[in-house]
Amino acid sequence: MGIENSSATKERRKSIDFWFYLARTLTVCSWLAFLAAINISYFVAPETDFGVLRYHDIEVRQFWLTPLTGYLYLVIWFSAAGSYASMLIHKYRSRRRNDNTHYNAYFLLGFNLIWLSVILHHVLEAANVL
């Protein structure tokens, strides 16, 4: 009937550790990178040829800007890698079944991978590789 010394064992649930802060920071940075990628893709993607623009003979760019496409790839890959690292940290740090499942990181990773494949398809199609 020994009494355990509470200072000898650290209870993880009482305080937040470094890994929790790292996972949260990675998730927030991944979402910010995703928003930055949306802004970059606005300038990189071809413009839409509306009827009003054709009527007034306004020239519309119909190709992807390749220098900015490289930056777009880097930003999307950073977002995907950050969300994947956050998912790994949460997987190995959560101990209970009822811990938060962090569906937002799964959604962000899936959407980034789909977006990368769509952009890659469009760029390769424009370069007549496909």
Q: What is the pLDDT along the chain (130 residues), one digit of tens a residue?
A: 555 555 555 555 667 788 889 999 999 999 999 999 999 988 888 888 888 888 888 888 887 777 888 889 899 999 999 999 999 988 887 776 666 778 899 999 999 999 999 888 887 887 788 7
* Domain count of the fold of the chain: 1
- In the block, which residue shows the tokens 């101990």? 95
Residue 96 belongs to some domain of the structure = yes
Give residue 62's domain range: 23-126
Closest CA to 37 of 4, 86, 70, 83: 70
Closest CA to 86 of 112, 120, 115, 119: 112
Residue 29 belongs to some domain of the structure = yes
Distance CA 20, CA 89 (A): 8
Distance CA 112, CA 42 (A): 16
Q: What is the pTM of this model?
A: 0.76
